[in-house]
Chain A
Amino acid sequence: KAGVTQTPRYLIKTRGQQVTLSCSPISGHRSVSWYQQTPGQGLQFLFEYFSETQRNKGNFPGRFSGRQFSNSRSEMNVSTLELGDSALYLCASSLGALDTQYFGPGTRLTVL
């Protein structure tokens, strides 16, 4: 069974631009969670989607948004990028809300 895939793996953007990251969960998994990981803050929860509905959202500004499609694939978007948005963005999929989460390799975003 294929694992969680994330595209692109690396991304370089400049301040003020916007970016879209993609996540394809494990087949059959309906829950997708997004995390931001930085050396100082660790893994911070962004949001969780289940069956195309956002069920939970972390404490991030409205510039961070996401969506999930009917095939469970998910995208997250960050608008008006700031230097502090540089991070590893991780996507994790699970069968249900509190089931084991399986992580993708992440997208490394660098904002210049």
Chain B
Amino acid sequence: TQLLEQSPQFLSIQEGENLTVYCNSSSVFSSLQWYRQEPGEGPVLLVTVVTGGEVKKLKRLTFQFGDARKDSSLHITAAQPGDTGLYLCAGPNYGGSQGNLIFGKGTKLSVKP
């Protein structure tokens, strides 16, 4: 069974601080996706990383896929209150009762003004 573990589970910071959240697995993934979910809404896809070692930037967000394709990180520079939400990582699952996409439990980020 493939598992994705995210850390930290909760993170509360002040506006302007930097932060990194992690997504780890003992399994190799062909790709990993990051979603952000705001309260009462569905997850919204931020990025997909597909190549080991790949780095993608989305404004103040930097996503990295580990060389061995077992882990990924999301770094936010100068966090803003609008970054508040639940950050989920997800990877393809080839069959089984977990569905086509398995999710980590997420990191709940709160950015205070």
Q: Tell me if B26 counts as interface (CB < 8 A to partner A).
A: no
- What residues of B have a CB within 8 angstroms of the CB of A103 in the complex? 35, 42-44
Q: Please provide the chain B residues from 75 to 113 with a CB less than 8 Å away from any CB of chain A in the complex.
A: 88, 92, 94-106
B42 and A45 contact, CB distance less than 8 A? no
Q: Tell me if A59 counts as interface (CB < 8 A to partner B).
A: yes
* CB of A93 to closest CB in B, whole Å: 11
Chain A 89-112 against B: per-residue CB contact (8 Å), 1 yes, 0 no? 010101001101111111010000
Number of interface residues of B (CB under 8 A): 24
* CB of B41 to closest CB in A, whole Å: 5
Which one, B96, B100, B106, contacts A97 given CB within 8 A?
A: B100
Which one, B35, B42, B45, B98, contacts A105 given CB within 8 A?
A: B42
User: What's the A-B contact tally at a CB cutoff of 8 Å?
Assistant: 62
B99 and A106 contact, CB distance less than 8 A? no
B100 and A102 contact, CB distance less than 8 A? no
CA distance A92 to B102 in the complex (A): 13
Closest Cβ neighbor of B106 among chain A residues: A42
CA distance A110 to B111 in the complex (A): 28
Number of interface residues of A (CB under 8 A): 28
CA distance A92 to B41 in the complex (A): 12
Residues on A facing B (Cβ under 8 Å) = 4, 31, 33, 35, 41-43, 45, 47-48, 56-59, 88, 90, 92, 94, 97-98, 100-106, 108
The 10 listed contacts between A and B (C-beta, < 8 Å) are: A4-B42, A33-B100, A42-B103, A43-B88, A45-B99, A45-B101, A58-B99, A90-B43, A100-B48, A105-B41
Taking A98-B94, A106-B40, A106-B42 as known contacts, 15 extra A-B pairs with beta carbons closer than 8 A to each other, sorted by chain A number, are: A4-B42, A33-B101, A41-B105, A42-B103, A45-B98, A56-B95, A57-B97, A58-B98, A88-B40, A90-B43, A97-B100, A98-B92, A100-B48, A101-B100, A103-B43
